[in-house]
Structure 1
Amino acid sequence: FEQFLHQRDSVKSVNTDPMSYLQFLANTFGSKKGREYEVYKHIPQKGTLTYTDVLHNDFFFCYEESIPTFSWKLADGDTIIIGYPCHKAVCQFRGRTWTAWYSLDLPFDNGPWKLGGLPGLILAASESRHEFSFVATGIEQMRQTATICFQPKRYLRSTPAKFQHLLEDYWKDQWNTTNRLQGSGYSEPPKAQRTFNACLMDKYE
């Protein structure tokens, strides 16, 4: 961890380009496989967000909520991401401070994960604790219209708050939480506790 802090501070001190810093975070912590979660916006209806995730490779969950609103504050700063000029914005959202880089050349109020609500597509975003970051690597023009297929019968339905509590339980005690999900009724004293910030957990009041 101390080595990471030294490398992080070195990158920030020798290069003022924010993208170099975001790329360093992505290379250091980025998963090669990625997460199993998916976010569907305006599905099943306009204004609704459907979130899906997988626990233990066996248990598929989904929940719906209204597409969040964001109180973005435009900030000084600009950069170029995959050839598009981008501007900086900052906001607080469910327990985290997010910095986003959006492009007016792509006039879509969307972005990675649940982020959105800016006058241009968010091509990069990171939160202040440096635990999560997103950086666009390319944009591809599709040759034909694609239909998004979502099969709700595959998932166990939940609510945002209940699913966050389940994630917290799972990362504290995977053995007993998995047994509970399987309905086995078998449990044992928790093993060594793990601290893990799983999959961009939101803070719901």
Structure 2
Amino acid sequence: MKYALFFLIISTLSFSQKFSFIYETKYKMNTEKPNDINSDIMILDLEDNISIFREIEDKKTDSIKINQGNGLFKMGVEYQFYVRKDLTQNKIAKVITYIGNDYLLPIDENLDWKILSEQKIIGKYRAQKAEVSYGGRNWIAWFTTELPFSDGPYIFHSLPGLIISIEDSNNDYSFNLIQVKKGINLFDARSKSIKIDWKKYETLAQSYYNDPYNLNSKMGMRVTMTDANGNKMDISEMTKESQKNIAGKDNPLELNHKINYK
């Protein structure tokens, strides 16, 4: 009865208010370079039990896409962090943008949380520890009931409070709350998405690896590239270098869907 009342309060607050939660995200893309750490600032916008988690720059380009009909997106598929959640329906999906199209990848893996008794203060919030397995990784999370929203960064959700910190056991990925904003509008410029599964996801990734400069779509056209000094560049060598770079990024968050490029 106590938990039922708690989640009713969460649902009411989430429905009636708009919040944005800013996270610092750190991740390692190359297992052979453990000290090469990427850092991005990401935002979780929450409104009416719908949330979107994306990079701050993604949100800016989404705004451009709405207002001007265009926008730039990160290429490739494995390191795009755009996630849409419907907390009421428990529908979670990644949205992947590739060559002008948006693809919707449902996340069906169950989050079987284990809530522990350990507590500590993180920033100004009292947080409680929880553990879960997802994507072939074990995760340690800290959530707070002082922010009564059953949500969190990336695909993570369904704890009795906001997840303010979560990190995998290998210290490869971490998401840490750094700011809370109230009254920020949520908007979604990628609502017209093509639904795919993990098999199609792998096909998209392999397609990008095979043709990182999207030259196949330019067949019949003379394709030339130049550097900043106006010197002509060897496309085949550039492709090989890009493929080496793509294959070297061998540490995706979903390890159970790691792609072996060939």
Query: Residue 39 of structure 1 corresponds to which residue in structure 2?
Result: 83
CA distance in 2 between counterparts of 1:94 and 1:32 reads 20
Provide the secondary structure at the position in 1 that maps to 2:211: helix
Shift of 1:134: 0.2
SS in 2 for 1:140: strand
Matches of 1:41 and 1:181 in 2, distance apart? 34
Deviation at 1:136, TM superposition (A): 0.3
Decide whether the 8 Å contact of 1:50 with 1:62 is kept in 2: no
Among 157, 160, 167, the alignment partner of 1:116 is: 157
Scaled by the length of structure 2, what TM-score is found? 0.52
Between the aligned partners of 1:41 and 1:169, the Cα distance in structure 2 is 27
Q: 1:74-85, aligned counterparts within 5 Å? A: 74-85=115-126
Amino acid at match of 2:174: S
Check the 8 A contact 2:93/2:104 in 1, yes or no.
Answer: yes
TM-score by length of 1: 0.64
Q: Residue type of the partner of 1:141?
A: K
Residue 196 in structure 1 maps to residue 249 in structure 2:
yes
Answer whether contact 1:176 1:188 (CA < 8 A) is retained. no
Distance 1:195 1:159 in 2: 24
The percent identity for this pair of structures is 22
The yes-or-no answer on 1:159 pairing with 2:194 is no
**How far, CA to CA, are the matches of 1:203 and 1:183 in structure 2?**
34
Q: 1:119, CA displacement in angstroms?
A: 1.2
Residue 183 (structure 2) pairs with residue 148 (structure 1): no
Q: 1:75-116 deviations in whole A, cap 9, x for unaligned? A: 353232231111111111121111111012222221100011
Matched, 1:127 2:162: no
Structure having greater relative contact order (Cα 8 Å, sep ≥ 6): 2
Question: CA separation in 1, counterparts of 2:174 and 2:199?
Answer: 23
Asked whether the 8 Å contact 1:75–1:88 carries over to 2, the reply is yes
Q: 1:1-205 to 2 correspondence within 5 Å? A: 29-32=37-40, 36=58, 37-42=81-86, 46-55=89-98, 58-65=99-106, 68-142=109-183, 146-153=185-192, 155=193, 157-167=195-205, 170=208, 173=209, 176-179=211-214, 182=217, 184=219, 191=240, 193=244, 194-197=247-250, 200-201=253-254, 203=256
Structure 2 counterpart SS, 1:137: strand
Aligned partner letter, 1:167: A
Call closer, same or farther: CA 1:46–1:131 in 2, change over 3 Å: same
Mark the structure with the bigger radius of gyration: 2
Cα pair distance change 1:198/1:88, threshold 3 Å:
same
Q: Distance in 1 between matches of 2:169 and 2:215?
A: 35
Distance 1:117 1:100 in 2: 12
Q: Any gaps of 5 or more consecutive residues in structure 2? A: 1-23, 28-34, 43-54, 59-80, 221-234
Contact 1:101-1:124 within 8 A present in 2 as well: yes
Instruction: Verify the 8 A CA contact 1:92 1:98 in the aligned structure 2.
Output: yes
Relative to 1, partners in 2 of residues 1:184 and 1:89: Cα closer, same or farther, differing over 3 Å? farther
Give the partner amino acid of 1:94: G
What is the rounded CA distance, in whole Å, between the counterparts of 2:180 and 2:159 in structure 1? 18
Give structure 1 regions of 4+ aligned residues with deviation exceeding 4 angstroms: 25-28, 32-36, 187-190
User: In structure 2, what is the Cα distance between the partners aligned to 1:134 and 1:197?
Assistant: 20
The two structures, once aligned, show a CA RMSD in angstroms of 3.8
Contact 2:102 2:190 in 1 (8 A): no
Verify the 8 A CA contact 1:99 1:128 in the aligned structure 2.
Answer: yes
Partner SS, residue 99 of structure 1: strand
